[in-house]
A and B are shown apart, each in its own frame.
Chain A
Amino acid sequence: MSDTKSTTEKAPTPGFHFRDLTKMFGGSQSSGRQFGILGALVVIIVFFQIMTGGKTLDPSNMINIVNGNSYVLVLAIGMVMVIIAGHIDLSVGSVAAFVGIIVAESMDKWGWPIPAAMVLGLVVGALVGTWQGFWVAYVGVPAFIVTLAGMLFFRGANQFVGDSTSVAVPREFTFIGGGYLPEIGPVTGYNNLTLLLGLAIAAAIVWQEWRLRRTQTRMNADKAPLWVSGIKVGLLLAVVVGATLLFASGRVGTSYPIAGIILAVLVLGYSFVTNNTIIGRHIYAVGGNWRAAELSGVKIQRVNFFVMWNMSVIASLAGMMWIARSHASGPGDGVGWELDAIAAVFIGGAAVAGGIGTIVGSIVGGLVIAVLNNGLQLLGTGQDLVQMIKGLVLLAAVGIDVYSKRQGRPSILARFGRRGESGGTGAPGPSGENTAQANTPAADK
């Protein structure tokens, strides 16, 4: 077939090439990759910043957005892994509520210390995950059914344990859901720890880029010109510095929230797991083509068990963050969270059929919803309209993506992260072959 076409590698000529810009965020193979949904987020922020007369990027508002959405974003981390593996989890809201009430009761009624209560919460989450994972992975009941059952069961269990009442949590516990970094060190007019955090992130970005370039040099890989790296690092640093100053300059006593730090740690940790570990590879493999994965020696039952188990553990964490933020656990906690998390994952570029999706993409997808929500509220839009708009945004985001894929162009959403269908700019290559091959007489029976 058209072997020759795909080999015409352009010899790199030195000097300035505009298309080198596309190498900015990884991947030499696609132009404008990564820009899709991230661009949408930036546009939405700018739009609301203008419409609200600067209220969107106000420190206290940003802190509010992080605090008010971190539990859903945490859920999205687990959810994207479930969805990559080709499943779904509808029970996360109920599981979060169930764990929340147990943790609240253990502190309020049984007088458990906070750390013990938190460990209890995680253990309960792990048990719930074992239960659901068993049915999905080893019995083979579709996750949709197992978790629909779990959604009903654990909602009831929450109300059974808490007698359908709210249980307050101790003041010290609220730290993980609504706390801030303490004010220490010299008076700078900013929150010093937030500044330090920002500095650390900035250093990490520079170091990461330097390491990438060094590795590429060692491997003789196609390397982006230095100026591109410079612009990339510059842009990222600008964002980090801006955000740092924003979060550090809030009302005294506030800073980058603890919930946001938990989120950031989870994002980093799970991004590493999904990108760099064997289990991460296996999750993508099972979702992408479980039959091929099975024939490559992947123990698919274990993978399925792990993603479902992990989701429930993460849900228990989200449940604890929520009761810490709202100072109490109640019977209506977590209603509809599963849908928010699923929406974030799909806006963030995951594929319904599995195999595609990234943690970072899902977080950005979640932020799109969060900023939209917040901006509309600042504009005084009623909750009814906000819901309608959110629904349309989800449909539009995925609809545009599906349409664009059907046209043979690379997926806009899946441009996110390295796992997207690595696609060129839709240039004719040996592409059309994919569909044609199935019909060739070789498949003749």
Chain B
Amino acid sequence: MPANPNILEMRSISKEFPGVKALDDVSIEVEAGEIHAIVGENGAGKSTLMKVLSGVYPFGSYQGDIVYQGEVVRFRDIRQSEAAGIAIIHQELALIPELSITENIFLGSELNRAGVINWRDAKTQAAELLHRVGLRDDPDTQIKHIGVGKQQLVEIAKALHKSVKLLILDEPTAALNESDSQHLLDLIVGLKGKGVSSIIISHKLNEIEQIADSITILRDGKTVETLDVQKHVVDEDRIIRGMVGRSLQSRFPDRTPHIGEVFFEVKNWTVRHPQVPDRLVCKDESFSVRKGEIVGLAGLMGAGRTELAMSIFGRSYGHFVSGTIVKDGKEIELKSVADAIAHGIAYVSEDRKVLGLNLLDDVKASTVAAKLEKISRGGVVNSFKERIAAEGFRKSLRIKTPSVDEGVNKLSGGNQQKVVLSKWMFTDPDLLILDEPTRGIDVGAKFEIYGIIQQLAAEGKGVIVISSELPELLGISDRIYTIFEGQITADLPVAEADPETLMRHMTSTQKKVTQR
């Protein structure tokens, strides 16, 4: 290797998806033997960049050069990048629960002779690898019997088996508790001493501060800056400024809020994880919504925003532990989605294709799907009223479709989202919970969606907007709650909120502030 100290250079990487420029001239340099952190808001392009690097997006589907160990590389798939010593460990672990630790470590690269696996050697090697990552479990243990923290370690052991030189970790500690996280971070630092460089993507800035040698900040698919921890004074505030530092242009329609009295309250809401009984996804959360108010819910991925919303919406997520819901002064119990709809609550889900729409349906059937009773008599749907309702929303929300008979899978993202909105507006809700209402749609459609949200508030409805985009929340909300690890950490009127403050509350519980 020449005198180039960099194990990896990604030069001017650009990657486009139809209608969206995901990466725009992004460059990063990773020195051999360093821990390089990549930070940015959700959607800033971090994962896309790593997918380009690991060959998930093959050579030719992006512009720019990847220089790895001094040579330009052109990975056509993930196998080639693995062969070169690049291992990526995803947020969602790629382990097979029913197989043992040994079987998972050697999956795809089994120790074999003529197709017959040598289990004895495999087990010996697995035990060594486990020792290196500090895991003392029996290599015969099934993956499903060990916790998420240990599973992460198995993933790393698997990477070590492939003699990894560059380890990429995508949100490695998102699902881990404190001690597991610390163990993992120590391991990454330990590996650095043994010549394994790491790229770590994380929302947890305190962890990054702790272990990173340099930090690259991405925003909107562009490199903002790279901070060298030795040279710069880097603290969380400095990173946050880089992550969110953009101006709030007039991307939001004008509006004068008319806010009434509190009509919806959630008190001491506590919910268990559906699969992990000792994990609480909502910890004693309380909040309220006023009539005509747009309330923002800010939190990073995994903070428990969606979990909170869905558990309120007829207990459609997790196991209800305790808490009360008060609407219009009366305590109500919402045991099913049908109850929630009947009580005038609507939830527009985060993922419209998976949770929001039946993509086989047409526009009109989708519009009325959540309240068929409204246009039915004796269980028979009146298709005349269905069409009228759908046509009404098509006009008022300006849904661009040749006709309401068109399949929703033919519509663009923004128009699909409008169909989902009309589906829930059709249920005549008093409270709408909108989970990432503008995800994956273009700027023009976003503006229109904001207009619809404001219109709903103007009609006296309460609206809760969950969003990963802080500028969006600041632009649309009257008041913002922040959530961190299943707890509400702040309640800020929008006038007192700015991206830095929000991000601080979204990344720690320490400075718990209660405004009122």
Taking Cβ atoms with an 8 Å cutoff, the residues of A that contact B are: 1-4, 6-7, 9, 27-29, 215, 218-219, 221-222, 276-282, 284-285, 288-289, 291-297, 299, 355-356, 419, 421-424, 429-434, 436-445
Which of A2, A288, A432 is close to B361, meaning CB atoms less than 8 Å apart? A288
Contact B358 A422 (CB under 8 A): no
Contacts of B413 in A (CB 8 A): 1, 433, 437
Report whether B412 and A3 are in contact in the complex, using a CB–CB cutoff of 8 Å.
yes
Name the B residues within 8 Å of A284 (CB-CB): 358, 360-361
A9 to B361, Cβ gap below 8 A?
A: no
Please measure, in the bound complex, the distance between the C-alpha atom of A356 and the C-alpha atom of B359, giving whole angstroms.
11
B91, closest chain A residue (CB): A445
Most buried by B among A2, A355, A440: A440
A168 to B15 alpha-carbon distance, docked (Å)? 75
- Which of A222, A430, A437, A444 is the one whose CB lies under 8 Å from B48? A444
By beta carbon, the residue of chain B nearest A442 is B440
Chain B residues closer than 8 Å to A295, beta-carbon distance: 313, 316, 337, 347, 349, 355-356
Taking a contact as CB atoms under 8 Å apart, the answer to whether B403 and A441 are in contact is no
Q: Which residue of A3, A280, A291 contacts B445 across the interface (Cβ within 8 Å)?
A: A3
A281 near B372 with CB under 8 A, answer yes
Which residues from chain B contact A296 at a C-beta distance below 8 Å? 337, 341, 369-370, 423
User: Which of B20, B388, B412 contacts A2 (CB under 8 A)?
Assistant: B412
Q: Which of A279, A421, A436 contacts B379 (CB 8 A)?
A: A279
- In the assembled complex, the Cα of A361 lies from the Cα of B406 at a distance in Å of 21
Interface residues of B (CB under 8 A from A): 17-20, 22-23, 42-48, 91, 170-171, 221, 301, 313-314, 316, 336-338, 340-341, 347, 349, 353-362, 365, 369-373, 376, 379-381, 383-384, 387-388, 391, 400-403, 405-407, 409-415, 423, 439-442, 444-445
Q: A285-B358, A288-B359 are in contact. Are A440 and B440 (CB under 8 A)?
A: yes
Contact sample, A vs B, 15 pairs, CB 8 Å cutoff: A1-B414, A9-B402, A27-B405, A276-B380, A277-B380, A278-B376, A292-B356, A292-B357, A296-B369, A297-B314, A299-B336, A421-B409, A442-B20, A444-B22, A445-B91
Are A444 and B46 touching (Cβ within 8 A)? yes
B20 touches A29 (CB 8 A): no
Interface pair A441/B20, CB less than 8 Å apart? yes
Complex Cα spacing A432 to B391, Å = 26
Closest beta carbon of chain A to B94's beta carbon, Å: 14
**Cβ–Cβ contact A29 & B405, under 8 A:** yes
Q: CB-CB < 8 A to A444: which residues of B?
A: 22, 42-48
Nearest chain B residue, comparing its CB with the CB of A289:
B358
CB < 8 Å neighbour of A219 from B349, B387, B445: B387
- Asked if B379 contacts A423 (CB within 8 A), the reply is no
Which of A276, A434, A443 is in CB contact (< 8 Å) with B383? A276
Contact yes or no, A437 B358, CB < 8 A: no
Q: Check A422 against B406 for contact (C-beta < 8 Å).
A: yes
Given contacts A285-B361, A442-B440, 14 further A-B contacts (CB under 8 A): A1-B19, A2-B19, A6-B411, A277-B379, A284-B361, A285-B358, A288-B358, A297-B340, A422-B406, A433-B412, A436-B18, A441-B221, A442-B43, A445-B170
Task: Flag if A297 contacts B338 (CB, 8 Å).
Answer: yes
Our pick among B17, B355, B444 for the contact of A441 (Cβ within 8 Å) is B17
Chain B residues with Cβ below 8 Å from A297 are 314, 336-338, 340-341, 370-371
Residues of A within 8 Å of B376, CB to CB, are 277-278
B residues within 8 A CB of A434?
Answer: 359, 409
Given A29-B406, A292-B357, A295-B316, A422–B362 Cβ distance below 8 Å?
A: yes
Neighbouring A residues of B402 by C-beta, 8 Å: 6-7, 9, 29
Select one of A1, A277, A442 contacting B412, CB under 8 A: A1
- Contacts A2-B412, A355-B360 known; A292 to B354 CB distance under 8 Å? yes
Using Cβ atoms and an 8 Å threshold, which residues of chain A touch B412?
1-3, 6, 430, 433
A293 to B409, CA, bound (A): 16
Expressed in whole angstroms, the Cα–Cα distance for A281 and B373 within the complex equals 11
Given the interface pairs A355-B358, A441-B221, the reply to whether A221 lies near B387 with Cβ below 8 Å is yes
CB-based contact B444/A3 at 8 Å: yes
Q: How far is the CB of B341 from chain A (nearest CB, A)?
A: 5
A291 x B355 contact (CB < 8 A): yes
Chain A residues with Cβ below 8 Å from B365 are: 281
Residue in chain B with minimal CB distance to A433: B18
A437 to B20 CA separation, bound complex (whole angstroms): 10
Q: Which residue of A lies closest to B40 (CB)?
A: A444
Q: Which of the residues A285, A356, A437 comes within 8 Å of B440, measured between beta carbons?
A: A437
Instruction: With both chains docked as a complex, state the minimum distance between the C-beta of A298 and any C-beta of chain B, in angstroms.
Output: 8
Q: How far is the CA of A222 from the CA of B401 in the complex (A)?
A: 14
Q: Which of B20, B383, B387 contacts A440 (CB 8 A)?
A: B20
What is the minimal beta-carbon distance from B303 to any residue of chain A, in angstroms? 13
CA distance A278 to B382 in the complex (A): 10
Q: Which residue of B lies closest to A286 (CB)?
A: B358
For A289, what are the chain B residues with a Cβ–Cβ distance below 8 Å? 354, 357-360
**A contact residues around B355 at 8 Å (CB):** 291-292, 295
B383 neighbours in A (Cβ, 8 Å) = 276
Q: Which of A1, A222, A433, A437 has a CB less than 8 Å from the CB of B403? A: A222
| Least CB separation from B20: chain A residue | A440
Pick the contact of B360: A1, A219, A356, A431 (CB < 8 A): A356
Top 7 A-B pairs ranked by shortest CB distance? Answer: A442-B440, A288-B358, A441-B22, A422-B407, A1-B19, A296-B370, A297-B338
A6 & B440 in contact (Cβ 8 Å cutoff): no
Q: Is the beta-carbon distance between A299 and B338 smaller than 8 angstroms?
A: yes
Closest to A221 in B: B387
Q: Which residues of B contact A356 (CB under 8 A)?
A: 360
Q: Are B17 and A28 in contact (CB under 8 A)?
A: no
The CA-CA distance from A425 to B406 in the complex, in Å, is 13
A6 touching B401, Cβ below 8 Å:
yes
Chain B residues, CB < 8 A from A281: 365, 369, 372, 381
Q: How far is the CA of A434 from the CA of B357 in the complex (A)?
A: 13
Q: How far is the CA of A225 from the CA of B441 in the complex (A)?
A: 38
Instruction: Output the nearest chain A residue to B387 by Cβ-Cβ distance.
Output: A219
For A440, list chain B residues within 8 Å (CB). 17, 20, 22, 440
Task: Chain B residues near A215: list those with CB within 8 A.
Answer: 384
**Which residues of B sit under 8 angstroms from A9, Cβ to Cβ?**
402
B47 interface neighbour in A4, A432, A441, Cβ under 8 Å: A441
Cα distance A321–B161 when bound, in Å?
Answer: 66
Query: Who on chain B is nearest to A353 by CB?
Result: B360
Report how far A421 CA is from B358 CA in the complex, Å: 11
Whether the Cβ atoms of A291 and B354 lie closer than 8 Å is yes
Docked complex Cα distance between A437 and B353 (Å): 10
Distance in angstroms between the alpha carbons of A29 and B314 in the assembled complex: 37
A-chain residues with CB within 8 Å of residue B341 when the two chains form the complex: 296-297
A423 to B328, CA, bound (A): 46
Contacts of B338 in A (CB 8 A): 297, 299
Expressed in whole angstroms, the minimum distance between the Cβ of A255 and any Cβ of chain B is 33
Contact B372 A278 (CB under 8 A): yes
Nearest A residue (CB) for B21? A441
Point out the residues of chain B lying under 8 angstroms from A3, CB to CB. 400, 412, 414-415, 442, 444-445
Give min CB distance, B195 to chain A, whole Å. Answer: 29
